[in-house]
């Protein structure tokens, strides 16, 4: 596996409200970036990832909107994901991610009184294959697989687009490439992307298609005390989500396009890999009124074997 364990995260969620329910999640950005899906040889890796998102800003179009325009007020989510990848040889491999989420949803009821709901459960599991045989150095590859409907979508107090699970089974198709920017090996670059499409749905709700892509660069700072290598990085992540459809969807208040800037750092200690970043929105354009987060955070610890 790569000396650099480049980490990415969980599944893109979609949200809408009971009356004027509108909540853009944007967690699909965790699925791209410096992903651990960039192998350089046979072998495996496992990781545990934590992400935090506090959706507390009401947004409409490309700017802030009066909170009174949205019956939903805040969604706080903690994402915990256990993942593993194994390359059987230099061409083929598999990967699986098992998420567990806790979510607090603050909204208003039909009488406009404050209401708060909390839920914690297994999320939608992802299983993917990897093909990295396009070149000898395995620098280019594709990923393909499914998001399974393992997360709950019937929790009382939560509408379909604030549920932890979507109820849908989705195709996942992605691609990646990495390379050197300088001959001395100080700077590397990477890019990857993923498309997600629901092909089976449940209870009259189809989440819109997601496309997420990232491009970025590492600076290989070299060895430090107690570590094999430390590498600060900077990446840009683009995210687009089509509108949700179905009787249980709030189509006018769903769908968005966003661009994030994400500084981070990777720290290698023998076979252990530590990674952290923050993701800040540079541009957001949402349909209707939706709750957005001013910052996303990610922490990962992994082990190569």
pLDDT for 16 = 28
pLDDT computed for residue 39 by the predictor: 76
- Please tell me which residue, 20 or 207, carries the higher pLDDT value: 207
Is 67 a residue whose pLDDT tops 90?
yes
- For residue 4, the model assigns a pLDDT of 38
Output the pLDDT for position 224.
Answer: 61
Q: Give me 37's structure tokens.
A: 């899906």
- List phi, psi (to 5°) of 13: -105, 165
- What would the two tokens of residue 251 be? 């189509």
pLDDT at 112: 87
Sign of CA dihedral 76, 82, 86, 90: positive
- Domains of the chain in sequence order: 27-304 (2.40.128.130)
> What are the strands, taking DSSP E only, across the chain?
43-55, 57-61, 63-64, 72-87, 92-108, 114-122, 126-131, 140-147, 169-180, 187-200, 210-219, 229-241, 256-269, 272-292, 296-304
pLDDT (average), residues 241-258: 95
Q: State how far the Cα of 215 lies from the Cα of 33, in Å rounded to an integer.
A: 7
Judge whether residue 14 has pLDDT over 70: no
Report whether pLDDT(121) > 90.
yes
Q: What is the pLDDT of residue 2?
A: 40
Q: What is the pLDDT of residues 284-305, one digit of tens each?
A: 999 999 999 999 999 999 999 9
Q: Which pLDDT score, from 0 to 100, does residue 9 have?
A: 30
pLDDT at residue number 61: 97
Residues 181-199 have pLDDT tens digits of 998 878 999 999 999 999 9
Mean pLDDT, the chain, rounded, equals 87
Q: Tell me the average pLDDT across 159-187.
A: 92
Helices (H), 203-270: none
Whether 282 shows a pLDDT value over 60: the answer reads: yes
Q: For residues 248 and 186, what is the distance between their CA atoms, to the nearest angstrom?
A: 51
Q: What is the pLDDT of residue 30?
A: 66
Instruction: For the chain, give the percent of residues with pLDDT over 70.
Output: 86
């Amino acid at each position: 596996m790569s000396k650099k364990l480049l980490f990415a995260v969980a599944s893109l969620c979609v949200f809408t409200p009971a009356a004027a329910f509108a909540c853009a999640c944007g967690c699909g950005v965790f699925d791209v970036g410096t992903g651990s899906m960039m192998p350089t040889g046979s072998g495996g890796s496992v990781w545990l990832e934590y992400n935090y998102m506090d959706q507390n800003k009401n947004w409409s179009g490309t700017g802030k909107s009066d909170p009174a325009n949205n019956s939903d007020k805040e969604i706080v989510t903690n994402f915990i994901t256990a993942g593993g990848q194994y390359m059987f040889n230099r061409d083929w491999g598999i990967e699986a991610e098992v998420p567990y989420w806790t979510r607090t949803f603050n909204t208003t009821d039909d009488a406009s009184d404050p209401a708060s709901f909390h839920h914690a459960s297994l999320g939608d599991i992802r299983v993917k294959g990897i093909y990295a045989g396009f070149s000898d150095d395995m620098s280019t590859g594709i990923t393909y697989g499914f998001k399974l409907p393992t997360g709950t979508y019937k929790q009382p107090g939560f509408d379909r687009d604030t549920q932890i699970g979507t109820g849908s089974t989705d195709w996942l198709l992605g691609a990646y490439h990495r390379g050197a920017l300088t001959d001395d090996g100080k700077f590397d670059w990477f890019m990857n992307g993923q498309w997600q499409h629901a092909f089976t749905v449940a209870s009259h709700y189809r989440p819109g298609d997601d496309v997420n892509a990232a491009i970025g660069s590492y600076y290989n700072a070299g060895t430090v005390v107690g570590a094999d290598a430390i590498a600060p990085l900077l990446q840009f992540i683009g995210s687009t989500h089509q509108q949700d459809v179905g009787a249980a969807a709030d189509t006018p208040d769903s769908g968005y396009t966003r661009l994030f800037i994400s500084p981070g750092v990777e720290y290698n200690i023998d076979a252990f890999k530590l990674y952290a970043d923050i993701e800040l929105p540079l541009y957001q354009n949402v349909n209707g009124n939706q709750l957005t987060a001013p910052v996303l955070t990610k922490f990962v610890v992994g082990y190569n074997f």
